[in-house]
Chains A and B, each alone.
Chain A
């Protein structure tokens, strides 16, 4: 190739050089333009995301209270050591894990079932669909208070129904296990519509011809559901699963209104502990360390799930 270049006459070489220069200029001006367009977004992202995260990590190494600033002193990894050796925090993780598992399982199962029904055409479908979406539009605090009243053991509607059916009234929010199930019920009531929404969209996106072909081949409805509907909508359902896992894991506001973390501290999620440590105790350093731990867990979980999603995308 070098011989080819050398064989060109000087004029051609100059022309080629000029063309290269023009190309480089174009490229560099293109890069500049791209950078120009991106820089406001990058600046906002740096300010809104990177700065708080770095501050969070920085403060996590200090014994520091935003309310009592004179007390700021470096403590190395002591905040992390204290938190990870605190049995109360492990209880919060266990509770959060149970809550996430129950909620996400219920929401996915009910959501997929209802979504499958909602993809069919029937009279009044749009009205029912709109009504189904309503809980999702409420604020979690409102949902918390709403369920708190409904679950009141004396005058709540749920115990009214329970006692009307001949069963003993349940102290839903005053006992550890019923409180977990009550919170899971409230969260499921609120967020199952989200799964229904995505599942319906995914199911309706599957070409009708595939079902027709399956029907011609004599496939049963169950076969069609498990071999066609579910696999073909898996990427969307998986995204729904990821979003619900992350969202349930950081659930806070529902518990503030519904149980206040009680009885005892049995319904305190990890996010609840972060908020309490940061804004009630004002142990800013310790809360930062706890938030970093939570962040690492959520990022780790998301990475595993996203990798799985990518593989799934390649498969389907």
Chain B
């Protein structure tokens, strides 16, 4: 066997190795498959049950309320447990970043944020939204690092400020480009009661330090 031939064989071996490694990386980097999208969408469009019939003192079906000043009766979630992905996280009530108008995800990546303007755990309609970091450049992996591994029928538990625990069952996991995600549907206050978990995912742009996509997990009371 000539030296030339040996060199050519070595080049082929190196080429095959390079292809294999690149292929493995490509497979490992596949986006999370979307499951249950139709069910998540149906939850949002379901008409809420009609309000209770008008109280006594009315004729026909005209609802009458006392014009008392409104009070706040929201039950904030305080703790989230997702055994399937090893998550136990403190839930903080958060709002909107005044500068960007975006969801104010807690800066500490091991904590997650509940959208305090939307429904709380007491709500009989609408989407309770909890978002958390997938990771951060400074702090590493976040509470929702493995959110994209959640699958249908996984269970999660949310503790409320009222001391009660509520269990939810995952029905959908979706991935959307941030420019296309139907946020109105996930921040809805109508439709069936549900819990929506959101984090980042998809390809990462190292220049802007942003992910392209959002991962959205939808769960219903178990």
**A and B pair up:** no
Give the A-binding residues of B (Cβ under 8 A).
none
Give the B-binding residues of A (Cβ under 8 A).
none
